[in-house]
Structure 1
Amino acid sequence: MAVINRIAGFADDMTAWRRHLHTHPELGLECHETAAFVVERLREFGITQIETGIATSGVVAVIEGRGEGPTIGLRADMDALPINEATGLDYASAVPGRMHACGHDGHTTMLLGAARYLAETRNFAGRVALIFQPAEEGPGGGRVMVEEGIMERYGISEVYALHTMPGAAEGSFETCPGPMMAAVDSFDIDITGQGGHGAMPHETRDPVVAAVGMVQAIQTIVSRNHYALNELVVSVTQIHTGSAENIIPETAYINGTIRTFDPEVQDMVHRRLAEIVAGQAASYGVEAKLHIEVGYPATVNHPDQTAFAAETAREVATGGTVVDDRRKEMGAEDFSYMLAARPGAYLFIGQGEAAGLHHPKFDFNDAVAPVGASFFARLVERAQPAA
């Protein structure tokens, strides 16, 4: 089989839902209008057990199956990104500075499509918990929902999620057991020196030179402090300082990101950053303060659930391919918190040729939504067959 016939039958409705969501993007934890739209659709489907306000604007809804059984969790993220949209579409973002550039409008739509089908058929045992999550792009709505007890409150035994993937064949799937996406931390360094005239540097303690020295030294963490065959990225992404060509500034600012899979490697990077900042500050006679923000942990799929999800994907894939041993990548995902709390799997679904994620011209491919909805629906039916 491929796309479930009933889901294919309301594909136009799914397109309308998705484009409405695309026009009205919201950021972070404040996805209230999106949540209200989701709840309205769920009630239209006849779903009555709905909890709102989790992690500020998250939603969990439960569909009861036929007879006793476990509860399987299906998650979709709802938030957008602070990007000015450049698609020129007639359903483009109506909110300047915000757009759905990562496909979360499509993720929400795929889960709504599965919800409609599952609520109509209820051809499964136990229950389905539909998890509509805010703030995947930050500050981590998945963590907040787990901390607020959704896994225990709804008795969720396994949890699954999909993410669109531009560049992969439309309707294909990719996943892997074990680590799939990296842990992400960020660091900030505030440097304070003594400013002065650019023609008299001997009367200053130059934070610009200190910042350059720190950045160069930070590059040696990967090249000289780390075993080359273990995955690690340390990238300096911002340097801000100065205001004119003849003024040595008082301060400088450095910012960057750390991507790891191994906690020991993560600890090593934190230690070396502290040593480098302190040592470079002393050598240049400036003061420097390092702050490390520990972010999302690595996204680690559970082997049994990943194999099962890949088998299910082969039933519905329209792109003809299901890759179950894809290479892990250095991106990050806060579904990691849910996978740390319960067994489950995270999969990519092919978008076809399109602008990349987080690009101002990205747009979710509506043809993929029935495939993703069918995956979620068949996952439930296969995992928890009705008596």
Structure 2
Amino acid sequence: MTPEAQARLADLRHELHQYPEISGQEEQTAARIQSWLRQCQPDEVLTGIGAHGVAAVFDSGIEGPCVGVRCELDALPIEEQSVADHASRVSGMAHLCGHDGHMTMVLAVAEALALDRPKRGRVVLIFQPAEETGKGAAAYMADPAFERIAPDYVFSLHNLPGLPLGKVELCTGPANCASRGMRVVLKGKTSHAAAPQDGLSPAAAMARLMPALAGLGRGGALDAGYALTTLTHAELGEPTFGVAPGRGELWVTLRTVSDERMQQLVNEAETLARAEAATAGLGVEIAYDDIFEACTNHAEAVRILSRACQTNGVPLQLTYKPQRFSEDFGQFAKGAVSAMFWLGAGRDHPQLHNPDYDFPDTLIPVGAGIFLAAIRDVLG
């Protein structure tokens, strides 16, 4: 990639960074992607997939496999702390996970394919909405349009602070943990604060339930038995001194390496919550959101990405442990040979979802080059 191309793509990344949109609201981001893609003259551009998803198809017209490359459109509902000229211009929203960089890499792939189209088969560039909520990949794949472009192979990446800049980490098997947000609502009866005995407060039950839920998953080694429960929010009654509370709510994130262990953890947490509510004479409601299934890398896809790194001279570290954070990319593995690799953003780089995080522009040609080498490996 020429210095001119790198500068142009960095400018594009900065534009995407300035105008973030959170999950389910990526309409303008998708429009910017479509505009850029059409300059690359793919054979087809599909829009509105799974809400705001986009796909660009480069078709050789000759029979062969379909290779997909996937990135994410959405940003986070976090206020950015940055003095950069390209800092977010949208209050309370920012690209603090690097999806702006991921999109730019895949657009760089589109530019390269415009100059050197596949000799056989097809390449599908997948721009997926709503990754941060765990809903985007499933919605994208459930859209009727996906049947027309469903890939045989699909690759993705995520930048990774803490890993040396430009180094790749890759594993076979479990790659990203399963996780889900559990919401427990305890229902009693309000009363005047002067006569709490006339009501039914969930306060004591909440006080017992919080350490009990946290105790179900202490983390530890990332093996088949790994489980982590993280209390993220608690609310008791209303912010007033005159009312004894009649309602309490707890949010806890459940995290495991496998979907099977997740189901066990769900059963344990629900049993605990229902038992505590019954003991206290409270009603209980349990609901889930931000549901991510475990993400697993296919051995063949890992071999392809390993060769791509070697071809491009990118330092590669093979590992046998997954990342603790979750990814809905695992949905694509249900119909394709797939793998995600992690690309180092620097040992001392701010962590993902931190308010001062910013994607390193130097990674754009590295990620795009690995994707292109993987495509050529499959399609020749």
Contact map agreement 1:173 1:317 (CA 8 A) in 2 = no
Are the structure 2 counterparts of residues 161 and 229 from structure 1 closer, same or farther at C-alpha, using a change threshold of 3 Å?
closer
| TM-align CA RMSD | 2.1
Which residue does the alignment assign to 1:109? 104
The one of 334, 343, 346 equivalent to 1:349 is: 343
Which residue does the alignment assign to 2:131? 136
Q: Is 2:197 the partner of 1:205? A: no
Q: Is 2:276 the partner of 1:280? A: yes
Alpha-carbon deviation of 1:244?
Answer: 4.2
The one of 262, 267, 282 equivalent to 1:266 is: 262
Are the structure 2 counterparts of residues 251 and 344 from structure 1 closer, same or farther at C-alpha, using a change threshold of 3 Å?
same
Are the structure 2 counterparts of residues 107 and 294 from structure 1 closer, same or farther at C-alpha, using a change threshold of 3 Å?
closer
TM-score by length of 1: 0.91
Which residue does the alignment assign to 2:326? 332
Q: Is 2:251 the partner of 1:255? A: yes
**SS at structure 2 position matched to 1:288:** strand
Name stretches of at least 5 consecutive residues in structure 1 with no aligned partner: 1-5
Which residue does the alignment assign to 1:193? 188
Letter in structure 2 aligned against 1:42: L
Q: Which moved more, 1:93-102 or 1:338-347?
A: 338-347
Contact map agreement 2:67 2:151 (CA 8 A) in 1 = yes
Are the structure 2 counterparts of residues 327 and 117 from structure 1 closer, same or farther at C-alpha, using a change threshold of 3 Å?
same
Q: Is 2:295 the partner of 1:299? A: yes
What per-residue deviation string (whole Å, max 9, x for no partner) do you get for residues 97-130 of structure 1? 1100000000000000011011101254221101
Alpha-carbon deviation of 1:368?
Answer: 0.7
Contact map agreement 1:7 1:374 (CA 8 A) in 2 = no
Q: Which moved more, 1:98-107 or 1:237-246?
A: 237-246
Distance of 2:179 and 2:49 partners within structure 1: 24
Percent identical across equivalent pairs?
A: 29
Distance of 2:370 and 2:121 partners within structure 1: 18
Alpha-carbon deviation of 1:167?
Answer: 2.0
The one of 64, 75, 91 equivalent to 2:70 is: 75
After TM superposition, list the pairs within 5 Å mapping 1:124-273 onto structure 2: 124-149=119-144, 152-198=147-193, 200-222=195-217, 230-242=225-237, 243-244=239-240, 247-273=243-269
Alpha-carbon deviation of 1:170?
Answer: 1.4
Distance of 1:166 and 1:230 partners within structure 2: 26
Q: Is 2:80 the partner of 1:85? A: yes
Which residue does the alignment assign to 2:45? 50
Contact map agreement 2:49 2:146 (CA 8 A) in 1 = no
Alpha-carbon deviation of 1:264?
Answer: 3.3
Alpha-carbon deviation of 1:198?
Answer: 4.8
Distance of 2:320 and 2:270 partners within structure 1: 35
Letter in structure 2 aligned against 1:322: L
Q: Is 2:316 the partner of 1:308? A: no
What per-residue deviation string (whole Å, max 9, x for no partner) do you get for residues 54-110 of structure 1? 111111111123843211001111111111111121111111111000000000000
Contact map agreement 2:179 2:262 (CA 8 A) in 1 = no
What per-residue deviation string (whole Å, max 9, x for no partner) do you get for residues 252-294 of structure 1? 1111111123333222222222222222112222222222347
Letter in structure 2 aligned against 1:331: F
Alpha-carbon deviation of 1:373?
Answer: 0.9
Distance of 2:164 and 2:74 partners within structure 1: 25
**SS at structure 2 position matched to 1:335:** helix
Name stretches of at least 5 consecutive residues in structure 2 with no aligned partner: none
TM-score by length of 2: 0.92
Which residue does the alignment assign to 2:32? 37
Distance of 2:75 and 2:309 partners within structure 1: 26
What per-residue deviation string (whole Å, max 9, x for no partner) do you get for residues 342-386 of structure 1? 11110111112321101111100001101111111111112211x
Are the structure 2 counterparts of residues 331 and 139 from structure 1 closer, same or farther at C-alpha, using a change threshold of 3 Å?
closer
Distance of 1:308 and 1:281 partners within structure 2: 52
Alpha-carbon deviation of 1:197?
Answer: 4.8
What per-residue deviation string (whole Å, max 9, x for no partner) do you get for residues 149-169 of structure 1? 455312521100011111211
